[in-house]
Amino acid sequence: MQFAGSHILSVSQFERPDVQRIFAVADRMQPYAHRQRVTKVLDGAILGSMFFEPSTRTRVSFGSAFNLLGGEVRETTGIENSAIAKGESLYDTARVLSGYSDVIAMRHPAAGSVAEFAAASRVPVINGGDGANEHPSQALLDLYTIKSELAGRGRGIDRLRIAMVGDLRHGRTVHSLCKLMCLFDDIQVVLVSPQELRMPGEIVEQLRQSGHKVLESDVLEASIAHVDIVYSTRIQEERFSSQQEADLYRGRFRLNQSIYTEHCEPNTVIMHPLPRDSRDTARELDDDLNDNPNLAIFRQTDNGVLVRMALFALVLDVVDLVDSCARDVNWYTAGRF
Angle at 77 between CA 243 and CA 33, to 5 degrees: 105
Measured CA to CA, the distance from residue 310 to residue 305 in angstroms comes to 9
Q: Does 17 bind ligand CP (CB under 6 A)?
A: no
Beta carbon nearer to ligand CP, 60 or 326? 60
Beta carbon nearer to ligand CP, 49 or 138? 138
Q: Does 136 bind ligand CP (CB under 6 A)?
A: no
141: nearest Cα among 3, 8, 325, 336: 8
Q: Does 98 bind ligand CP (CB under 6 A)?
A: no
Query: Shortest gap between Cβ of 174 and ligand CP (angstroms)?
Result: 11
Q: Does 211 bind ligand CP (CB under 6 A)?
A: no
Query: Shortest gap between Cβ of 129 and ligand CP (angstroms)?
Result: 6
Q: Judged by CB under 6 A, which of 10, 39, 49, 55 binds ligand CP?
A: 55
300: nearest Cα among 336, 277, 269: 269
Measured CA to CA, the distance from residue 147 to residue 160 in angstroms comes to 10
Q: Does 58 bind ligand CP (CB under 6 A)?
A: yes
Using the rule CB under 6 A, give the single segment among 51-59, 160-168, 233-241, 280-288 that binds ligand CP.
51-59
Give CA separation, 175 vs 11, 133, 168, 232, 240, in Å: 10, 7, 8, 13, 17
Helices within the chain (DSSP H only): 16-28, 30-33, 57-68, 90-97, 113-120, 136-151, 172-181, 201-209, 220-223, 243-247, 257-263, 297-315
Q: Judged by CB under 6 A, which of 21, 28, 40, 57 binds ligand CP?
A: 57
Q: Is 273 exposed, middle or buried (0-12, 13-18, 19+ CB in 10 A)?
A: buried
Q: Does 307 bind ligand CP (CB under 6 A)?
A: no
263: nearest Cα among 275, 254, 272, 271: 254
Q: Within 13 A of 137's CA, how many CA atoms are on the CB side?
A: 30
210: nearest Cα among 239, 188, 192: 188
Q: Judged by CB under 6 A, which of 138, 145, 148, 193 binds ligand CP?
A: 138
Beta carbon nearer to ligand CP, 54 or 156? 54
Using the rule CB under 6 A, give the single segment among 18-26, 53-61, 66-74, 109-117 that binds ligand CP.
53-61
Query: Shortest gap between Cβ of 55 and ligand CP (angstroms)?
Result: 3
Query: Shortest gap between Cβ of 210 and ligand CP (angstroms)?
Result: 25
Beta carbon nearer to ligand CP, 102 or 142? 142
Q: How many residues sit close enough to ligand CP to count as binding (CB under 6 A)?
A: 10
Q: Does 28 bind ligand CP (CB under 6 A)?
A: no
**Which residue is nearest to ligand CP, using beta carbons?**
58
Binding mask 259-298 for ligand CP (x = CB under 6 A): --------------xxx-----------------------
- The answer to whether the CB of 270 falls within 8 A of the CB of 285 is yes
127: nearest Cα among 152, 150, 153, 109: 109
Report the DSSP beta bridge partners of residue 39.
Answer: 326
What residues make contact with ligand CP under the rule CB under 6 A?
55-59, 129, 138, 273-275
